[in-house]
Amino acid sequence: MKQFVVDAFTKNVFHGNPAAVCVLEGWLPEARMQQIATENSLSETAFVVKEGDRYHIRWFTPGTEVDLCGHATLASAFVLTRFFDTQAEELTFTSLSGQLKVRKRGEMLELDFPARMPKLISFTEEMERILHGQRAQAYVDSDLILVLEEERMVRDFVPDYTLISALEGDLGLFITAPSKTYDFVSRTFFPKIKINEDPVCGSAHCNLIPYWSRRLNKPTLVAFQASPRGGILYCEDRGDRVRISGYAALYSEAELHV
């Protein structure tokens, strides 16, 4: 079985977020897909099967299957349009989060994903401990979002994964702040599903884009994920949908003997 590894949201390998992509003729047992994702030890492994004129996509972290993943969808579209469906200008995926479209946009690929406007909640002592005594505005959708005042606070943040893992519910943590170079910066952490820091998280921007679009009164935004690898996302708020565009770079092709 062929497997590709693609660095998403970057033009250059060793940056952005690496995702493994397996394009299958038919589904493997779920346990085997989880074993492959665990063996890969990347934040996501995507499995794709063509069904009629669409592709069914599933995403696995080293610890579990998830319902939405941006960078692995972008990586899958890169693989499909480069090696399998080379004439396609648009791909439609079915997924646990419904129908997702990916379009070619010059050298970039554009994701069309559901928007998820987070809700304001009370800032707690637990959140203050996670931020090492700093305060923030707190929001939640499926994950906890802490909005900081300055970009340097995001870039300099030292995560305590034990504290983050102790958050109530099945939560990841996003931290974000306005930026002078970009419209906003962020970092994302998912230790509960065995991803300490996700280098560039497309699905997190389903929350971050509507929040920052309303706060800055701008429908189009440029975001930077300030992880050690880093990645740039070109964003658009479309009401109940968001568009997230980025580059991708092929790192490897391999044959899996499973």
- Only one residue has tokens 């690929």, namely 109
Strand partners, 99: 94
- For the chain, where are the alpha helices, taking DSSP H only? 30-40, 70-79, 125-130, 151-155, 161-165, 205-216
In this structure, what DSSP letter does residue 141 have? S
Q: Can you point out the beta strands (E) in the chain?
A: 2-8, 17-24, 44-51, 54-60, 65-66, 90-95, 98-105, 108-114, 119-121, 137-140, 144-147, 173-178, 184-190, 195-198, 220-225, 231-237, 241-246, 248-255
CA–CA separation, 181 vs 223, rounded Å? 9
Six-digit token string for 38:
């665990």
Report the catalytic residues: 44
Q: Which of 178, 134, 179, 138 is nearest to 158 (CA)?
A: 134
- Only one residue has tokens 């770079």, namely 249
- Only one residue has tokens 């995403």, namely 59
Half-sphere exposure of 243 (CA within 13 A, CB side): 16
